[in-house]
Amino acid sequence: MKHRDTELFEIIQREKTRQNTTLQLIASENFASEEVLAAAGSVLTNKYSEGYPSKRYYGGNIHIDESESLAIWRVKKLFGAEHANVQPHSGANANMAAYLAVLQPGDTVLGMSLDHGGHLTHGSPVNFSGIIYNFAGYGVTESDERIDYDNIAELAREKQPKLIVAGSTAYPRIIQPDLIRKIADEVGALFMFDAAHVAGLIAGGVYPNPVEYADIVTFTNHKTMRGPRGGTILCKAELADAIDKAVFPGLQGGPLEHIISAKAVSFFEADTPEFKNYAAQIVKNAQAFADALGTHNFRLVSGGTDTHLLLVDLRTFDEELSGKDAQIVLDKAGITTNKNTVPDDPRSPFVASGLRLGTPAVTTAGMREGEMSTIADLMAEALKGRNDEAVLKKVRAGVADLCAKFTPYP
Ligand SMILES: *Cc1c(COP(=O)(O)O)cnc(C)c1O
């Protein structure tokens, strides 16, 4: 298509080139398929459809109802859920709606501490969750840097929460939903699993399905699920009305039906043998990446990963190197990452001692274990030679070679 607004479309073209020619290692990112992009960019954006399929406030929703119903049907089948709401505009909105459905302001909630990998919506004082509700945080042990279920149980007995939230943005290990269900039952709490990062791994069968255990499961569609940017809520049948009312009219106005149609496409894609292979390959790649980083003296928090995500402690590689500086250097070399605190990090979150890495995007681009080892070599070379422009140029060229062979949007 010839564009009239060349200024904006040239910006989009530059971003596409960036995605095609640099390495995307941010654990929460992925490359949506051309069909997901087509649905997200479709005429469904034009329609107002407040309400739910066959219960809309406006006329003309015959095809919108078909699309949203298809998304609901597909996601329920994919996860074995009793009820689904596909309208949340994002993961944060999905969590907000879940809280609105089951909590009163001031209610006590347990969630993972932010400095141990919890999300802002799990009780950060600068987030609505911490402002409206009374969150208490659990974390990982000092010894093995894994979730301490005994600590959750103790805290639950002490705090008597109305809700226990599990899920994380920076935890490389599997969170066991059956163990948290037991704790919730013991203290009479509801259990919400925030599967934002791992929904695609669950759909692909390489991570335990929390739908069996949790009263509510929320997730983002754009991380390992590889759909459009957005959120989804799954819940038990008895919470269906409360969840639907919380999303609309409780929290949102008109749903983003173009995005919901793109969610439907990604649920279709996730229900295939190819996606199972994809999910398994994400984890294999992450483990190969962890091993390769280990040979360069990077320390992996918790010793490795069971998922798509790696949390690298940079201090064993170079005590002086902060996460912030590493992110900047790697950006220059064409390697996109994000700084992240490690458990009990002495540095502030704006500086941090770690890097969070993930394999969902590079795996979508077709990379395998061999490429993970190449990437680890490139990272080590760039970070060692961080004050030498020639080294960074050489690494950038190596990254360009790799990306030329694995281009997400040719
Ligand atoms: C990413 C994430 C969210 C929020 O998703 P947004 O779409 O960015 O609002 C919520 N919870 C967890 C655990 C996340 O990782």
pLDDT for res 2: 84
Q: Is 393 labeled as catalytic in the residue annotation?
A: no
Catalytic residue among 50, 65, 115, 318: 50
pLDDT for res 259: 98
DSSP state of 249: I
pLDDT means per 10 residues, the chain with 410 residues, are 92 98 98 98 98 96 98 98 98 98 98 93 96 97 94 97 97 98 98 98 98 98 98 98 98 98 98 98 98 98 98 97 98 98 94 98 98 98 97 98 97
| Chain position carrying tokens 């000092």 | 142
Report the 10 Å Cβ neighbour count for 309. 30
Closest ligand 1 atom number to CA of residue 28 = 1
- Residue 408 to residue 8: CA distance in whole angstroms: 21
Q: Which domains does the chain have, with CATH numbers?
A: 35-270 (3.40.640.10), 276-405 (3.90.1150.10)
Report the 10 Å Cβ neighbour count for 57. 12
Closest residue by Cα to residue 108 from 92, 141, 130: 130
CA of 99 from ligand 1 middle (Å) equals 14
pLDDT for res 168: 96
pTM value is 0.97
Q: Where are the alpha helices (DSSP H) in 48-134?
A: 62-79, 91-102, 128-132
Closest ligand 1 atom number to CA of residue 223 = 1
Which residues, 6+ apart, have CB-to-CB distance to 378 below 8 Å? 333, 335, 395, 398, 399, 402
Q: Are 360 and 308 in contact (CB under 8 A)?
A: yes
CA of 220 from ligand 1 middle (Å) equals 6
Rg (CA), the chain: 21
Q: Are 165 and 155 in contact (CB under 8 A)?
A: no
CA of 196 from ligand 1 middle (Å) equals 5
Coil vs helix vs strand at 232 = strand
- Residue 241 to residue 243: CA distance in whole angstroms: 5
Q: Are 237 and 303 in contact (CB under 8 A)?
A: no
Q: Are 70 and 210 in contact (CB under 8 A)?
A: no
